[in-house]
Structure 1
Amino acid sequence: MSLALDDYLREHDGVITLDHARDAGMSNDAVNRVVRAGRWRRCTPGVFFAEDHRFTDAARVRVSVWSYGIEATASGLAAAWWLDMTKFAPEIVEVTVPRDRRLTHRAGTRLRRRDLASVDVVERRGLRITAPDLTIIEAASRPGGGARVMDSALQRRHSELPRLWRAQLRNKGRHGAPRSRRLLQAASNGARSEAERLFARLLDRAGFTGWKANYAVAGYDVDFAFVGPMVAVEIDGLAFHSDADDFHRDRKRQNAISLAGWQVLRFTWLDLTEYPERVIAQVRLAICGV
């Protein structure tokens, strides 16, 4: 086998397609001989894995996408993982293909049929994936993704809200669009008021009474105050520390409230939507000590 082919396999996680092998100068017969010799494993028709490599998550994702042809694109949580936006590769690899393609579903994948605009597709390490902006809003709308994906992406400067909104509007009819729109609204102007309404509903359902909203403490209005036990609760939207000036203002405000003798709890939109039971438990502990 040529050095060029060895380099290709090393750079592509040990995965190669029949077309790539032909481009490297191999005939169909040569590919079949390598498969019969046990050096390559046929994963799907036209997609092979070199057995002298380790079959990693990257190899699994690459096989899943390439098994649907050259126009297939990794999307959702698979694309988010490929872009290092999430820590773990999803068990089921989401793949988006053009709407008019009639393809057989393959095990371990979730097939989406949709025509993607060129601006919404990029290539990373030789694999077609959805571009970062579309990846963020799609991954955030998937089970296992949620608000934490969008929050992390905004905090780490993977994107900015105006770009995410443009990606959302370009892809209004896609699966999960309503949920990602709600998350974008939570991260946009007015996020705090929406998060505050959600927190108030959590308090009501948990049976808390006697709290006051927008209560003055040490020259600041705290979002929620339990006056007797002197517990202040501050609510933030998604990516609430994305601006350095905001971060320092928040610290100054929180220090002043604490120095006035109040215990301060902070919760984000991510806390309220993903971990509501934990939020209520912490409020109860602060107020009642249990």
Structure 2
Amino acid sequence: MPAVVDVLRRDGTATFGELRAVVSGHAIRAALVAGTIRRVAKGVYALPVTPDPVVAARAQGGLVSHLSAAVLHGFDVLALPDKPQITVPRGQHRRLSPVNCELHWADDVPSEGHWTGKLRTILDCARTLPFAEGLTVADSALRLGAVDRSQLVVAAAELRGPGSLRARRVAASADGRAESPLESGLRAILIEAGITGFEPQVVVRDRTFSARIDLGNSELMIGAEAESFAHHGTRGALARDCRRQVSLTVRGWRLLRFSWEDVMFDRDWVVAAFRDAIAGSPGHHNVRTAMARRRGAAA
């Protein structure tokens, strides 16, 4: 079960009913008492105000970095940082400050500016964060044109020390076609599980129909969608989704739809669902096998 703060990181604010749909009432009350969430209006909750990362960086004599810098650059992140992430020169001690922050130490901290540059930020995230989080930042940076892929791959190849192999893996896997953090997170699960053949934003089109699928394997005709409630939570959106799924199904596609909770908290189930679909497990119609049987019967 996700924590209350995880839900609020995703949506910013939530009503008691929205929280109660995914966490227990006890968890909500405990988070209020602990101060990890706050009530901003009757029945509406949010995270506590996050300290200004630039203020935290100046207090520590460093630069805003990692996920905090990614947010300042406008990159998508899978989850917002709990507190400002700051990089200071190696050997510098933590300074006394009322602003709580997460410190990183490095040899090459620029003396100008308030946060790390775009390429440096992507690489910092790639080498220190879990693969899915690093990939989300890199995908977003490529989509925004902040760096190009060859630049990222070359820079990652030049890294040495802890996290360099992780950064190279992120750089090799990054794809600017990804359109959302949740989509990047879903693709990261497949990459880590060794499931190949799925590409971002696959287009299915004929004379009367056109749709893009978050992740698709055109050979197997399996698609996957990373679903956000914010984009699918209205009656009109539900109707469009139903018609779109039926249109894909009658064209032979199997569409797997995964929620934020699935991607963030139940990776094993997501992997199992993909493997079952690929294997043509009971309950899934194996289109290619059926077509082959029909061709054999006709002959």
TM-score range, shorter chain: 0.3 to 0.5
Superposition TM-score, scaled by structure 2 size? 0.44
Superposition TM-score, scaled by structure 1 size? 0.45
